[in-house]
Chains A and B, each alone.
Chain A
Amino acid sequence: MTKTTRTVLMLLLAAAVLTLPMWAGTYWTHIGVLCCYYVIVVSSWNLLVGYAGQMSFAQVSFSSLGGYVSTLTATRLGLHPVIGMAFGAIVGAFVGYLLGILCLRMRGVYHSLTTLAFAEAFRTMLNLEYKITRGSLGLLGVQLFPGTSKTPYYYVGLLLAVLALLLLYRIIRSPVGFTLRAIREDQTAASVAGVPLARYKLFVFALTAGMAAFAGGFLSHFLGVVTPDWATQSAMSFILAMAIMGGLGTFVGPIIGAVGVEVLVEYLRVLGRYYMSFFGLIVLLMLRFAPGGLLALFSGFKLPTFLRRRASQG
């Protein structure tokens, strides 16, 4: 493929994405909005896990936290949803920072168990604090735009996703990004080389939690409801599947994964009660036989990803 064809393809793609509400119909625009949400959540999780190597199962806790805080700000205080989203992101980042402090002391398995424990405790709290969260019923919220059209949501979602990706891209390409990768590869060596480990880890925890919370706030004002189901392990497994399928530890992989899995799931729904097990099977097989994700699979494993070494090394 020459450079020109590639450019043409990319332009075509950009045009298609930009005009989606005009040709794809309401339902696929709805899916498009969900894709934007997932792109932000998965890509930020990818920075935390794939680049900084800080395994976490709490990403969905932060997105639901953002959803709840934002919805409560809008319904209880009567503030505009946008303020709610911003506030949700701040609270999310703060709680992410706290979880980061907690995790600083832990290594390896203890670290992941703590994030899992946090996620489960948070979900239980959402279920039990009925007076604030309305328990397993979920909290009804405020729509960002009046009317039934999904088009404005789509463009706002797209804008947010692009901004989030630009931010992540800049971080990954900056010295901060290199330092994070150094921490992932060898924490002790990085520390010896003078990297202030704690500061970097807390930064990445807070940033990714804040981004997820912001996306969660947006989703809650799109769907008009936020429930504890967002914070379950099966919700987390979707984030995981998207990152793994695309290619954890690459920039483009999780984006393809998020959109691909969300669209795939819409088609798998016809399988009825078989669909989740079929989906689970795909993820298992991917992990087992192509742990680098689709990206690595198609590039002949030449690409270094989170789990898979460069072919020349392996």
Chain B
Amino acid sequence: MSIWEYANPVKFMRTSGAILPYAVAGAALCTVSGLVWGFLTPQDYKQGATVKIIFLHVPAALMAINIWLMMLVTSLIWLVRRHHVSALAAKAAAPVGAVMTLIALITGAIWGQPMWGTWWEWDPRLTSFLILFLFYLGYIALWAAVENPDSAADLTGVLCLVGSVFALLSRYAVNFWNQGLHQGASLSLAPGERMSAVYKYPLYLSMLGFFLLFLALLLVRTRTEIRRRRLAALLAREMRA
């Protein structure tokens, strides 16, 4: 049993159908409890109640980057191994990633207003996320614009590859351009705690919730895409016959 077998549409439909209810339930449970727990945490001595937006902001930002990475991996699998479900999974993930990026940007703005006294600052991290959002938009627009699904899958795959290199390059270029206000990473494996456990555990729970939410959305959207392809394939066969 290899992972490649799941790239077979029939097998994917069967397996994803079995996983989906658990993913939805887990996402609902973890997201809601993580956010409620987070809301009940004490106020930060410096940032006050505004710190609580972290339970939305950080998981969304984390997912925004990881969804792009997942798209990069599935695009590579498509380009190298030609597994059709892989290309459709990349397509299905893109709008979710774009919304996660948008959530990270908007919550960042709402958090930044009381903290830095401005809704928007051309800080390297914020700017990188804005650029990442543009890459998501371009990727989604290209899928929408190309009619032939085989060409669309190949072109978006190449775009994802080139885009990944430039998203990374932009990340470092932006650092060169402006040093920034944004605090460092919120969670770190390095010794010397940055964040107290009071905030950490609800944050972990919330992250898990966002991940499961993404998984559930990805499965639903990929299943929809597969059904749409099936419909198109049947129509194409009708027309040929």
Say whether A associates with B.
no
Residues of B within 8 A of A (CB): none
Residues of A within 8 A of B (CB): none
